[in-house]
Each structure stands twice: as structure tokens, then as C-alpha cells.
Amino acid sequence: MIKANAITVLIVSFAIISLLLSWTGILNIPVSDIISYTLLITGFGLVYPGIMHESKVLVFTGTVFFLIGVLFLITDHFNITIDEYIISPVILLSAGSGMLMVYVTIKSRRMHLYLSLILLTAGVTVVVSENHFEAGRLIKSIPHFLNYYWPVVIILVLIIVLIKKE
């Protein structure tokens, strides 16, 4: 419990100090970036103790917070607008990723894997069925994405390898 309180104090302190420095002009970071970084740190701060204590709720919640932080960073830095039609797929994809993290990190029952696959498939299906998916734009954005986020690709490949080993 002490570690969780310390993590909470650090995260809140980071957010408050960053906002104050940004508002005074000392730090030249937009508020949206500060919120994104705070969500990323909160995600890590929840997942790590969740894995240590095998808490499915912390792992799931931390993963979702982390992904929301990534979503905010991507929308801010790549000029992507999030319309209302994309909210339900984002929720489904985040929940599916959270369940996948629970399955991978805690070695829980296969139900979490199946639920993850159902949620991820539903999210992708909603995006494709709404006709907002353009393969040409996706292919053009891949090199730019990989230039900045190549470590994420490596982590995803490692997760796939770990799942296949089981």
C-alpha cells in the first residue's frame, strides 16, 4: 500500500509541477502533452504493482490508461482528429488490449484471452464496417509511424512470440 501511495504522490506531483511550469512559460509543453504523459506514467504506475501482486484490475486499468495516453499523444503529434464514430472502437480496442495484458502478465485463464480476442475483433470490425478505414492512408502512414515508434513494434512482436510459445 505504501508503494501505491508513493506512486500516486509522484504522479500527482509530476502533473501539478508540469502544469505550473507550463502555465508560467518556463516549460514549453502543451497541456495536452502533460495530460498524455501523466496518463502514460499512471498506466505504468498501475501495471507494475498489478503484475507484482497479480491484480487483474490494476493491470487492466493501467493498460487502458496507458493506451489512452498513447492515443492523446498520437492525435496531438500526427494531426489526427478523433470523431465520435471512433470512440466505441477505441473503447473496444483498449478493453481488448487490457484483457490481453491480463492474460499475458498474470497467466490467467483462457477466458481472458478469448474475451480479449472478441473485444479486439469487435473494435476492428466496427472501424471497418463504418467505412472509415482507408488502406491507402494506412500504408502511407506506416513509415512515419515506424520512424518514431519502432520500440512498440518490437514489443508487439515479443508479445506475439510469447503467446505462441504457450
Name the residue type at position 63. T
Secondary structure class of 17 (helix, strand, coil):
helix
Q: From 71, 72, 64, select the one nearest 47 (Cα to Cα).
A: 64
Q: 135, exposed or middle or buried, with CB in 10 Å at 0-12, 13-18, 19+?
A: exposed
Phi, psi of 107 (to 5 degrees): 55, 50
Q: What is the pLDDT of residues 131-152, one digit of tens each?
A: 666 667 767 777 877 777 777 7
Alpha-carbon torsion angle 25, 42, 78, 128, nearest 10:
-150
Q: What is the pLDDT of residues 52-77, one digit of tens each?
A: 888 888 889 999 999 998 888 888 77
